[in-house]
Amino acid sequence: MLAKDGRVGRREEPLCDQVLAKVGRAVANPRVRDAQVQPGDERPQPGRRVREVPGDVRPGERAPVEEVPVDAVREFTRTLRSGLYSSWLKPAGPPEIRGLLQDLNAMSVDLAEREALATRNLQLAGEVRSKDARLAAVEAVEVDFTELGDQGMLMRRMMEGITHTLPCELCAVILLDEDAWSVAHARCEEQPAIAHAARGQGMRLAGTDAAALRRGEPIRLGMLRTCGIAALAGSPLADRPAAIMPLRSGDGDLLGAVLVAAPRDAARQARGFEAQDEAGLRHFATLMAMSLERQQVTDRLLERMIRMAETRDPRETGAHVRRESGVSLELVDGWAERHPMDPQQASFAREVLESAAVLHDVGKVGVSDTILKKPGKLDDDEYTAMKRHTILGAALLPGSGAQDEAAREVALHHHERWDGSGYPGDEDWVSAAGDIEGLLQRPMTGRGLAGHEIPLFARIVAVADVFDALSSPR
């Protein structure tokens, strides 16, 4: 029987007890007590016969009895009890001793086989647990795909799933813009500096590899250093194997690729890529491609909303939006340097703020042209109507993702002031976002937010908006 730890039990092994009892009886026998045996260092190889009778013994003569030390037998049994089954006793001596030694050797072989079986059973159990963990990780990513609205967050969760399920040390998402490749996301859990250095870098592939990706074929690289990304080619993982899987749209267009490198086994030891790795990576690549397609649709929608706002307000030009977004990114970078924020959080903040900043005045599509294009100063009623663009902007940006929430906060509160004199104030406008007509008729009587009550991104965009108004002709 097997003990709980997978090793062969000592007192629960009938063959072991039987043979050891036989050893005890033999040792007590006066004929055996003074006999000796020489333990061999190695077991006989298959096909090799152990010489038992000297070659100079003539037929009819009795071969001399080889001396067998009982201490060697005792040492042999002690090694068996300790779980070591490599010992081997050379059969010698009279028939009863040779039979005893052969039984001991047979027991050693049997116990070794059972030990190997127990070890294999433990390995299989570990593989089953590992596969269960992989399936759970894949299912979690699929749930995230349906629930997360933020593409950057979704990509990070997918890279985490890839590094845990293959598993591997490095994963990167490279996007294709016309003919230029650029690392958009990267993850290296144990050496995050590698991932940080790779983000934003270009990738230059050999012509045959680039052609294979365009055909939708994955490629394998013997060493990561040949991937064409400078930060990875000079990293400590440069000599580890890598693979690149294309990301293709439903129409077959190449959107980008996902790169994985330095695969390892369940014991975190280095290994090569296997067929099952490619199948698992292809599944994640399909989800990533669908996410990129979904983001492209969202980006096109947002671009149209921005252009619509530009046509309504001649002062809200595309150049102004780009300048304001750039100033906002400079401000958030400075804020991140002065506050405890790791590089991944800072990068995510930039992504979220960049999209939120360009949509801060999208609510102006609901303001009358008479007010938007009036050359002179607005009267009180007109100014009140103008202020409603903040509420309308928040109503036009539904969703639950980090980018949606940030864009909604910026659109709603980018006219708040540090001293509390801004608008629209502390009323709950978001819960009524579905009732556009009601929002247009609802009086704005709330107290303006002040100081740190104003969301961080809204404060940043407010400063950037004023800076651009004072420094640029509009």
Which pLDDT score, from 0 to 100, does residue 25 have?
A: 57
Per-residue pLDDT of the chain in tens (474 residues, 90 and over written 9): 444 444 444 444 455 555 556 555 555 554 444 444 444 444 443 333 333 434 443 444 433 434 456 677 777 777 777 777 777 777 777 787 777 778 778 877 877 777 777 777 766 665 556 565 666 665 665 555 555 556 777 788 888 888 888 889 999 999 998 889 999 999 998 899 999 899 999 999 888 888 999 899 999 999 999 999 999 999 999 999 999 999 998 888 999 999 999 998 877 788 888 888 888 888 888 888 888 887 787 777 777 777 777 676 666 566 777 788 889 999 998 898 888 777 767 777 888 888 888 888 888 888 888 888 888 889 988 898 888 888 888 888 877 677 788 888 999 999 999 999 999 888 777 665 566 677 777 777 778 899 999 999 999 999 999 998 888 776
Q: Write down the pLDDT at residue 455.
A: 93
Q: Tokens for 179?
A: 């003919």
Strand partners, 99: none
Work out the burial of residue 142: count CB atoms within 10 Å of its CB; fewer than 13 is exposed, 13-18 middle, 19 or more buried: middle
Q: Which two tokens stand for residue 210?
A: 């680039």
For residues 204 and 257, give the distance between their C-alpha atoms in angstroms, rounded to a whole number. 13
What tokens appear for 281 in the block?
A: 């990576």
pLDDT of residue 435: 67
3-class SS letters over the chain: CECCCCCECCCCCHHHHHHHHHHHHHHHCHHHHCCCCCEECCCCCCCCCCCCCCCCCCCCCCCCCCCCCHHHHHHHHHHHHCCCCCCEECCCCCHHHHHHHHHHHHHHHHHHHHHHHHHHHHHHHHHHHHHHHHHHHHHHHHHHHHHCCCHHHHHHHHHHHHHHHCCEEEEEEEEEECCEEEEEEEECCCCHHHHHHHCCCECCCCHHHHHHHHCCCCEEECCHHHHCCHHHHCCCCCCCCEEEEEEECCCCCEEEEEEEEEEECCCCCECCCCHHHHHHHHHHHHHHHHHHHHHHHHHHHHHHHHHHHHHHCCCCCHHHHHHHHHHHHHHHHHHHHHCCCCHHHHHHHHHHHHHHHHCCCHHHHHCCHHHHCCCCCCCHHHHHHHHCHHHHHHHCCCCCCHHHHHHHHHHHHCCCCCCCCCCCCCCCCHHHCCCHHHHHHCCCCCCCCCHHHCCHHHHHHHHHHHHHHHHCCC
In the block, tokens 């009890």 appear at 81
What pLDDT sits at residue 245? 95
pLDDT at residue 20 in the model: 54
Q: Rounded CA gap, 388 and 363, in Å? A: 8
Which residue(s) pair with 172 in the sheet? 186, 259
Cβ-based neighbour number of residue 89 at 10 Å: 23
- The angle formed by the CA atoms of residues 3, 8 and 12, to the nearest 5 degrees, is 70
Residue 138: its pLDDT value, please? 59
Confidence (pLDDT) at 23:
55
